[in-house]
Structure 1
Amino acid sequence: MITNSELFELLAMSSMLMDYNWTEILKRKELFRETFAGFDPNTVGKMGEKEIMEIASNKAIMLTESRVRCIIDNAKCIVQASFA
């Protein structure tokens, strides 16, 4: 059975295909895990404007603000679905 964190990680990584190819995504996998709290949807879903701007401005990550917001919104949806 897949956990919420594993589901969220797969969803987030797949959404990054709009900006990267799989090779680039996998090269940055650990950086993404650090940035998004190990893809814990409970933690990521609580990220606010400060965290969004910090992530979006991080040159090593190179994700647009809209992509960061999408990842955080997906975390919120996973959390909400797990309580439904």
Structure 2
Amino acid sequence: MDRCGWVSADPLYISYHDTEWGVPEYDSRALWEKLILDGFQAGLSWITILRKRENFRAAFQGFDPDVIVGWGDAEVARLLADPGIIRHRGKIEATITNARIWAAIEAEQGFDTYLWNYMGGRPLQNRWQSLAEVPAQTDISRELSKDLKKRGFKFCGPTITYAFMQAVGMVNDHLITCPCHAPVARIGQEHRKT
């Protein structure tokens, strides 16, 4: 099977690539979780985050931003002592801040709607032939990053936001030689965030 070249032989990575990466996600909470995990990835490999994802979910109460929004110093201390996650004070504190930003956007228009409006409600279907063609960031990821930062969101630079857009299917960046490209493209054509 000729998967995208960034996928290692690790079964966890293969499963993630084959079943999650690039599949359009329209759930506000799930989108927030993925953006937070992409922020935790900064400076690390994605497989590191994947291996700790269930620990993150347990430590962060299922990534329920309505719960996390009320956290303070005690929760930060608890998380800094948790060896199952990435113990980075800045990223942990940013998650609490980002929960507050999520809540404001969710109340205003829905976090899912906010994100998908950048795409006109439909995933962009790229047709890359090699990894060398795939950008690290785009005009849209730069716009999204800039607006999130203006609202107070942390760990959301344009490279992080583009990796997030790829992961949640806002763009289909599976190579055209990858067996996942066509199925993900079909899903993107069948569904639209309205």
Residue 43 in structure 1 maps to residue 67 in structure 2: yes
Letter in 2 for 1:60: G
Letter in 2 for 1:28: K
TM-score (structure 2 length as normaliser): 0.41
* Greater radius of gyration (CA): 2
- Summarize the Cα distance change of 1:10–1:62 in structure 2 as closer, same or farther, 3 Å threshold: closer
Letter in 1 for 2:99: A
Name the stretch that deviates more: 42-51 or 11-20: 11-20
Q: Percent identity of the aligned residues?
A: 24
Match for residue 87 of structure 2? 63
| Deviating 4+ runs (over 2 angstroms) | none
Is this contact kept in 1: 2:29–2:65, CA < 8 A?
Answer: yes
Match for residue 73 of structure 1? 97
Residue 22 in structure 1 maps to residue 46 in structure 2: yes
Q: CA deviation at 1:62?
A: 3.0
Residue 34 in structure 1 maps to residue 58 in structure 2: yes
**C-alpha offsets along residues 1-59 of structure 1, whole Å, 9 cap, x if unaligned?**
62221111111110012243111100011000111111111011111110011101222
Unaligned runs of 5+ residues in structure 1 are none
Is this contact kept in 2: 1:4–1:41, CA < 8 A?
Answer: no
Residue 12 in structure 1 maps to residue 12 in structure 2: no
TM-score (structure 1 length as normaliser): 0.89
State the secondary structure of the residue aligned to 1:46.
coil
More helix by share: 1
Name the stretch that deviates more: 34-43 or 57-66: 57-66
Is this contact kept in 2: 1:44–1:75, CA < 8 A?
Answer: yes
How many residues were matched structurally? 84
Q: Distance in 2 between matches of 1:63 and 1:31?
A: 12
State the secondary structure of the residue aligned to 2:71.
coil
Unaligned runs of 5+ residues in structure 2 are 1-24, 109-194
